[in-house]
Structure 1
Amino acid sequence: MKVLITGIHGFVGSNLVNALKGEHDIYGVDILTPNKEGVVKTFSWHDLKMHAVPEMDVIIHLAGKAHDTKKKLAAGAYFDINTGLTKKIFDYFLESSAEKFIFFSSAEGTFNEISNEILTEDVIPTPIGPYGESKIKAEEYIRNICYTIGRMSKRVYILRPCMIHGPGNKGNLNLLYNVVRKGIPWPLGSFENRRSFTSIDNLCFVIEGLMTKDVPTGIYHMGDDEALSTNELIGVMCEAMGKRSRIWNLNKEVMEGCATLGSFLHLPLNRERLRKLTENYVVSNEKIKAALGIKKMPVSARDGLLKTIRSFERKR
């Protein structure tokens, strides 16, 4: 197949190239257009506008503005990129001969918190903030067009992965890794939460399946089969680093009191951060597995995380 990937130089794009280049012809669209191993050619967004890109079989839309945890980015930038670029590439897809379109949305961005035990595709999104709101606006644009056209021959997939990790990842997992590597004790051991993660290997496996199998158009959540607690995650990190885990089971009420005080004094540990660190966030992958005709993902959550942490160690 001829596959066009937007945002091809990013973390997910680079891993997709490595996973798909042996079987498919890979092309890219990005802000910068240097040569990349495994990529036939990378085009600019201007090239796309001028229809200078050859016809493709599949378009994978990764390009977007990531969540700014420091809250320094203007809200308009999210909508210009996460919503605006999605409209442009989806309109291009509709006019092209490409048969499949895969849009990368977000689970954790579009659902501020999970009221149910497990997040399924039936739950109505509740984004708070411009990142999640801009992703949902992009989803709505795609869904409204698909609804208007009805049963079109093209297949459209909205993929909502939870936290993606793997070699080359620079996300929140790195922050916790650096804390553990320095031997700093984890003080929230008394909070037993469960969180879903997405191994990049499982994600690439799912993308290959969406490309090559007859999967119905729709929204699909993406995550590994097992959810892990933060305590278990720290244990995996220590195993990969050959360290002994240091987890303190401090009294919950004391830590909640410290977080309340932190909110008042604008300290690093505040109520919002405590909630994020200790909440449950379990994403169901049953729908995507059923669509692909599989019973389990090829890589376990633990093995995927071990691979990621060991890649951090090698990089050091």
Structure 2
Amino acid sequence: MTARKVLITGANGFVGEALVYKLLVDKRFCAVAATRGVTRLSGLCQVLPFDLTRLDNLPSLEGIDVLVHAAARVHVMHDTAKDVLGEFRKLNVEGTVKLAQRAAAEGVRRFIFISSIKVNGENTFCGEVFRADDSPAPEDAYGTSKYEAEQALKSIGLETGMEIVIIRPPLVYGPGVKANFLTMLGWLSRGIPLPLGAIRNRRSLVSLGNLISLIVRCIDHPAAANQVFLVSDGEDMSTTQLLSRLSKMLGRRVWLVPLPEVLLKVAASLLGRQAVARRLCGSLQVDISKNYELLGWKPPVSVDRALRQTAGYFMDIQPK
């Protein structure tokens, strides 16, 4: 059987690079990495130059069967751009549309778009969960740009017949994680007291291994065509539980001060950190039953295993 040629944009990124490595050991697929700049993947697979900021210089997609679009302008706290939504639209909407139009014109059969749970919204309330077919309700510029890209892709799919698959992950963690999750690991490793010992929220996260597993399933499963999927580890935790379990994996004694949630929110408001408090205290739960019903997919990596891998990565990168 001829291996299907799969192109991955953002192949230097956290998700994209892991997906390439996964496909390199799967005989069903032939990975093509689309990257901006130098990459560790050179010599391991075909590498194409790709830069979402240069829409006039997209690579040829001839011979590509499936395209996984993981490149994006990512969400950052305290974005300093004058027109935040406009900047997100340039890459996440306009860039995605131009790439999809090129893909359809050159015979790409399926286009898998790595979107964001922010398309559904920022928080769920007690007894509620986000579902893949809920009405979208993005609240920030990043979520809005991802939603607009999804809508444009669906239109392109209807016009051209190219299959569109949309995956909306929540926070992704695992070896190679950066940003706030890495900072949190640093706090725990140093034994810094944290006023987060009484948070009773419920949050869905997804390990890198589980996200990659779902993407691979969506590459060639017939039932994935023209569907939206949410993804998680299948086990939700409170912020307090997450910190406690990570500390255990790091071999550190955790000091979580049980500050009442209302006081934590007041303090965050006084410091201008309401958004941080919302993420730490708010719930965000997703329902992934559709994945099993349509694709026969369940998360193959347990939360404990994923947290252990993440903690091990963190300890490995610390100065000796």
- Structure 1-normalised TM-score? 0.89
Amino acid at match of 2:290: K
Would the alpha carbon gap of residues 143 and 226 (structure 1) be closer, same or farther in structure 2, given more than 3 Å must change? same
Q: Which residue of 1 aligns with 2:10?
A: 7
Contact 1:227 1:301 in 2 (8 A): no
Amino acid at match of 1:129: D
Listed as ranges, the gaps of 5+ residues in structure 2 are none
Pick from 242, 254, 258 the counterpart of residue 263 of structure 2. Answer: 254
Q: Which residue of 1 aligns with 2:304?
A: 302
Mapped partners of 1:301, 1:131: distance in 2: 27
Q: How does 1:68-107 map to 2 (within 5 A)?
A: 68-73=76-81, 74-75=83-84, 76-107=86-117
Pick from 131, 134, 140 the counterpart of residue 151 of structure 2. Answer: 140
Would the alpha carbon gap of residues 253 and 7 (structure 1) be closer, same or farther in structure 2, given more than 3 Å must change? closer
Q: How does 1:1-316 map to 2 (within 5 A)?
A: 1-22=4-25, 23=27, 24-32=29-37, 34=39, 36-45=42-51, 49=57, 52-73=60-81, 74-75=83-84, 76-108=86-118, 110-115=120-125, 117-148=128-159, 152=161, 154-215=162-223, 216-260=225-269, 262=270, 267=271, 270-294=273-297, 296-316=298-318
* Higher mean C-alpha deviation, range 161-170 or range 118-127: 118-127
1:274-313 deviations in whole A, cap 9, x for unaligned?
222111111111112222213x311112321221121111
- Alpha-carbon deviation of 1:244? 1.4
Would the alpha carbon gap of residues 52 and 125 (structure 1) be closer, same or farther in structure 2, given more than 3 Å must change? closer
Contact 1:5 1:61 in 2 (8 A): yes
* Higher mean C-alpha deviation, range 105-114 or range 14-23: 105-114
- Structure 2-normalised TM-score? 0.88
Mapped partners of 2:262, 2:213: distance in 1: 43
- Alpha-carbon deviation of 1:147? 4.1
Contact 1:195 1:227 in 2 (8 A): yes
Mapped partners of 2:156, 2:17: distance in 1: 30
Mapped partners of 1:57, 1:41: distance in 2: 16
Secondary structure of 1:254's aligned partner: helix
1:84-134 deviations in whole A, cap 9, x for unaligned?
111011111211222111001100355122246211013222222221111
Mapped partners of 2:244, 2:43: distance in 1: 36
Secondary structure of 1:305's aligned partner: helix
Would the alpha carbon gap of residues 30 and 253 (structure 1) be closer, same or farther in structure 2, given more than 3 Å must change? closer
* Higher mean C-alpha deviation, range 62-71 or range 246-255: 246-255
* Higher mean C-alpha deviation, range 214-223 or range 140-149: 140-149
Mapped partners of 1:37, 1:302: distance in 2: 34
Amino acid at match of 1:126: A
Mapped partners of 1:166, 1:37: distance in 2: 25
Mapped partners of 2:152, 2:172: distance in 1: 25
Would the alpha carbon gap of residues 223 and 253 (structure 1) be closer, same or farther in structure 2, given more than 3 Å must change? closer
* Identity fraction in percent: 27
Mapped partners of 2:313, 2:10: distance in 1: 22
Mapped partners of 2:152, 2:293: distance in 1: 26
Mapped partners of 2:112, 2:58: distance in 1: 22
- Alpha-carbon deviation of 1:240? 1.5
Contact 2:49 2:59 in 1 (8 A): no
1:238-290 deviations in whole A, cap 9, x for unaligned?
11111112111123343343334x1xxxx26x433222211111111111222
Contact 1:108 1:163 in 2 (8 A): no
* Higher mean C-alpha deviation, range 44-53 or range 238-247: 44-53
Residue-pair matches, total: 306
Secondary structure of 2:222's aligned partner: coil
Mapped partners of 2:31, 2:265: distance in 1: 50
Amino acid at match of 1:287: K
